Amino acid sequence: FRGRRLGGRELPLPPGYRGLVLRGGEPGEPPLGEPGDPQARWVTVTGSFGAITDWGADAAPLPGRGLARALQWGPLAQAV
Instruction: Give the global pTM.
Output: 0.63
For residue 26, what pLDDT is reported?
64
Give 51's Cβ-side CA count (13 Å radius): 8
- Higher pLDDT among residues 57 and 71, named by residue: 71
Domains delineated in the chain: 6-27+40-78 (2.40.128.680)
Angle subtended at Cα 25 by Cα 22 and Cα 31, rounded to the nearest 5 degrees: 120
Instruction: Give per-residue pLDDT as tens, 10-31.
Output: 999 988 889 999 887 765 666 5
